[in-house]
Chain A
């Protein structure tokens, strides 16, 4: 293919001299000059601190940015009134300054060009870059329809591009946070309780008497409020039960650690349900009052005894019984945690359903110490013309499939970008904002093949992540510390809003997403949808509708409201109408049945690793978010590379020493680009290995993290798709060790 995209390693040649060589005026100005100007615009109060909410992860904790004597950003601390963080940011939020100061940041718009047969980026002005994107978008709209452009987004900036896309007539707005992360649990809880979990989770951990974690590694995932409340629960003597093939940090805080054989969780859950029903440990009144399908469930699990599960899970029957009794004794102040990243084996919605059913039996939904009822707060939208009705959506690419998916599948859009004769529309343009799709979507070969078929790939990011190397146009977004964004709303125990305002003028020639989207809208003749001069006008208008103002929010950062009613938990005997087909909690799901899926969850065996191979498990480290923080100096100081956890028995079989670097090869013969340091540890089973996600970057411009550690994503080539909602199960990949440098071996032969 003549114009096949090459991955451009944004090189030091292209960008290194930019601070001097850049064409636009703002590049010539030193950042210090800009900052001192900015400081002079701030009031005395704001020169002390300005409010923000964090963008390093999705928890969006509210905080304050403080300055040095010379007006430069010094540190970020949590806002005491924020319900998400209670004044305490996590290491990533505290280290947010490292994102702002990162010398490797994207600094100016870039356009792909060809020089002497080699593809490279050239620096461009904003006007030129946005015109380029607008022309491509219009061409795609003309030739294929506007709905052939899709948006992939993670984080705050995506809202504005979402509005832009809707204005063009496309609703194909995908967030990997659904089908690559928490989608299965949302669908499972919707079809059990009539509500999704969403974020932050409504788990009442601080008041629980028993917390059950199934592969959920709170403490290694720094979901701030959850970590804080788990600590409170430890103080209050709550029982923690952790199910994990790895002795996680949470497992080390637990009364019970169940080192389950990977991929057998549903068997354990069914056995727990069996014990809770047949030992009559369930909340009888709650089950009678609120649920349907109990008798069918009871019949369904009649034979699912702990002895049955023992052979599958390797968890001893008496431990299954004891832990079930712990849950029963704590009921209803018990949480079988729904987890967050739950796309594991392709039957994840059914596993999440088992979890939902267990919670229903224990009467924990809507109860103190179980799941509280969210208070939500929404702001009125700024007036704009109605969005046009899209002519087609992504769903038409998958007739009859994934009907229960509640949002766009990122992997679905990716798949439907690869041309196929049986589809009327293939995606032709992607706008990617704040998500490094190469490290986000499994099966990289598929992702890259899709990209090769695009007429437009525009990437908005703060850092030269791998996805930027495939882009036609790269737009440098300023960091969250340099911009306003939408007011943070959402769910919590109390309704609350939070403001993010700039603590600095954008460094280099970077811009906030709201500005980029609005300017792009102008080029597309869609400015009516962004009918405000600046985002301050928009935010102030919104805030005034609810009796606040931008000025007030600049002063206080977060504002908390009263709940409409005193209904954090169900009242005794309260009549509740659940948002399900029957109006009850559905233990048995007629909706699943109608779609051709098991109305009650079943355990099905999964493939096991062949001889000499080990299941590849992955998770989070507390100092990093996905792959996006891997280059942050404050956070690489804490963790600069991932390591591979290997059981000592396995290590001795292979003669692998602690701290030795090895390469990994998976079942599809894909070898990791970079070696990974082995951590020989008793903390993991012998049938699996484990690494923290987000390392092994091969974009050289990420100078701190280039080549550090290995990427789990590149080894996840086999995807176990959940037939119910299209989630991409990613824990069905097996790896073996390669002890010699594969590049050297290849050179020899």
Chain B
């Protein structure tokens, strides 16, 4: 099993519903977020293009945060999901510094927090992650890459896609449909 997410940049309108839904689902404190929206404008008037991306932890196969964690607090869980065990965390901050995607924030309770793909609170109960379930444009696809019939496998088969900073060699599992 290999969980992954795809984001359709052609449909995303950048409304940040994914951010609010994550916040209420996962009790992310006000002022922080586990996912966010990036809008890249290219060109000059009137020849313009915008790419809108809902971003979050890439749940890398070769995750620098897991490699550099001295206590094993950052670890791989089901389907390759990268999670943080806050009880093992000593708050050294190495994982935050090592992430090329800036996907982690220091939770006010003293540990790094980030996207979990809603693994335990939703996915393992048969639900989609909160951001995927809420998205009004249905631009987020989630599922098991090893299952050819999963939403994410099917959409990656028919659409052009890219990943962010592939040169970092992290083998990210957040795909952007372009």
- B136–A683 touching, CB < 8 Å: no
Which residues 88-104 of B sit at the A interface, judged by CB distance below 8 A? Answer: none
- B23–A88 touching, CB < 8 Å: no
- Across the interface, B19 reaches (CB within 8 A) one of A224, A234, A249, A637, namely A637
- A88–B50 touching, CB < 8 Å: no
B119 at interface, CB cutoff 8 A: no
Quote the shortest CB–CB distance from A256 to chain B (angstroms). 11
- B50–A252 touching, CB < 8 Å: yes
Would A682 and B15 be within 8 Å (CB), given that A231-B139, A637-B23 are in contact? no
- B20–A94 touching, CB < 8 Å: yes
In the docked arrangement, what's the CA distance between A298 and B41, Å?
Answer: 42
- A247–B136 touching, CB < 8 Å: no
Would A227 and B134 be within 8 Å (CB), given that A634-B24, A637-B31 are in contact? no
Q: Which residue of A lies closest to B139 (CB)?
A: A231
In the docked arrangement, what's the CA distance between A505 and B20, Å?
Answer: 24
- A247–B48 touching, CB < 8 Å: yes
Would A88 and B133 be within 8 Å (CB), given that A94-B24, A259-B46, A683-B41 are in contact? yes
Which residues 625-684 of A sit at the B interface, judged by CB distance below 8 A? Answer: 633-635, 637-639, 647, 681-684
Would A88 and B44 be within 8 Å (CB), given that A220-B13, A623-B15, A637-B19 are in contact? no
* Chain B positions within 8 Å of A683 at CB level: 41, 45, 48, 50
- A228–B43 touching, CB < 8 Å: no
In the docked arrangement, what's the CA distance between A683 and B47, Å?
Answer: 9
- A259–B45 touching, CB < 8 Å: yes
Quote the shortest CB–CB distance from A457 to chain B (angstroms). 34
Would A227 and B16 be within 8 Å (CB), given that A252-B49, A634-B23, A682-B43 are in contact? no
Q: Which residue of A lies closest to B30 (CB)?
A: A633
B21 at interface, CB cutoff 8 A: yes
A253 at interface, CB cutoff 8 A: yes
- Of A69-77, A167-175, A288-296, the stretch lying at the interface with chain B is A69-77
Total contacting residues, chain A, CB less than 8 A: 46
* Chain A positions within 8 Å of B154 at CB level: none
* Chain A positions within 8 Å of B15 at CB level: 90-91, 219, 222, 227, 622-623
- A224–B48 touching, CB < 8 Å: no
In the docked arrangement, what's the CA distance between A259 and B136, Å?
Answer: 27
- A681–B41 touching, CB < 8 Å: yes
- Across the interface, B24 reaches (CB within 8 A) one of A78, A97, A253, A684, namely A97
B67 at interface, CB cutoff 8 A: no
- A234–B30 touching, CB < 8 Å: no
Would A682 and B134 be within 8 Å (CB), given that A231-B11, A247-B48, A634-B20 are in contact? no
- B45–A685 touching, CB < 8 Å: yes
- Across the interface, A247 reaches (CB within 8 A) one of B14, B23, B46, namely B46
- Chain B positions within 8 Å of A, measured between CB atoms, are 10-11, 13-17, 19-21, 23-25, 27, 30-31, 33, 41, 43-46, 48-50, 52, 133-139
A-B interface, 5 closest residue pairs, ranked by CB to CB distance from nearest = A219-B13, A622-B15, A231-B137, A75-B24, A252-B50
23 cross-chain CB contacts under 8 A: A75-B25, A76-B24, A85-B136, A88-B134, A88-B136, A89-B134, A90-B15, A90-B136, A91-B19, A94-B24, A219-B13, A219-B137, A231-B13, A234-B11, A253-B10, A253-B11, A257-B48, A259-B45, A622-B14, A622-B16, A623-B20, A683-B45, A683-B48
- 10 extra A-B contacts, CB within 8 A, seeds A91-B20, A634-B30, A682-B45: A74-B24, A90-B15, A91-B16, A231-B13, A247-B46, A249-B13, A249-B52, A637-B19, A637-B33, A638-B19
